[in-house]
Amino acid sequence: MKVASVVAAVVASSSASSVFRSSAGCPQAAAPRVAAHPLVGYWHNFKNPSGDTYPLSQIGASWDVINIAFAENAGEGKVGFTLDPKAGSEAQFIADIAALKAQGKTVALSLGGQDGYVSLGNAAETANFVSSVTALLTKYGFDGIDVDLESGVSAGLPIIQNLVTGVKQIAHNIGPSFYLSMAPEHPYVQGGAGAYGSIWGSYLPIIDGLRNELTQIHVQYYNNAGFVYPDGRQLKEGTVDCLVGGSLMLIEGFKTNYGKGWEFKGLRPDQVSFGVPSGPKSAGQGFVTADVVSRSLTCLTKGVGCDTISPKQPYPSYRGVMTWSINWDRFD
């Protein structure tokens, strides 16, 4: 499935004017420039089975937010970035970012990934994190960062509060144009509805602590089978209920630890998107059909086309769709 073409078709459909109508009437916090209902994708700064990387200038026009995958752990809290030669020279890369931004695109530096890790165990490492990330954003012209840490985040560890503190300082350094997204796997978020602890729900205090800075969160609803909904049922990846239910937990809120723990207060609908694989080869589990993507968006924004889970009310300002990845979408 070409996610880019599927989402574009939903937006361009005859019902799109009512599904994706402007949210200008809703009170909004100060926010960076970003499409109202973006298609978000990750561009590989590395070679994998989808092929070599390629210059940013070759990215298709359908993509609204381009996350550069990935920054590197440079030790002691520092973050680095080394450009793959297949992407062109550093000067061309910087020029390509500027060109994408001139087209109204958002370009962010993604921190983490499957093997990514940043050590934020103390104040010194947090200071190094802030200074190194701020320097990278300034040097390359990135709009902000995408937090995609898939290891090292566990309930009670110092990284949770230090990450919140560090990102707030980066946001202060960059100013109101700062873009912030998150892409945790669902065990780190909705997983907290079950047994809260260890990795389960460990992103919830990060999301809560950065809700004022957060532009959007697009949880990865793939590669982890499924999760427990607050009413006790198991939601399976690749289904409308999974994408809708996971999104509603973030918008409408939920209690951790099977309803006996602390309550995560919901985010604004325009801060929430869902993340899916771009095709059957880009992820081990959780592939979704075009129909599932379309029905999920329509359910969330219009309250129709749902499966067994429906929103309390339509959320026409629901943000959009993230996919892994731009490179896989072209290949698969």
Angle at the Cα of 181 from the Cα atoms of 297 and 278, rounded to 5 degrees: 50
In angstroms, the CA 219 to CA 302 distance is 21
In angstroms, the CA 228 to CA 160 distance is 23
Residue with tokens 């918008």: 251
| Catalytic residue (one of 72, 76, 125, 150) | 150
Q: Is 76 a known active-site residue?
A: no
Q: Which residues contact 73 (CB under 8 A, 6 or more apart)?
A: 79, 80, 116, 117, 118, 119
Packing angle between helix 3-12 and helix 290-302, nearest 10 degrees? 40
Catalytically active residues are: 150
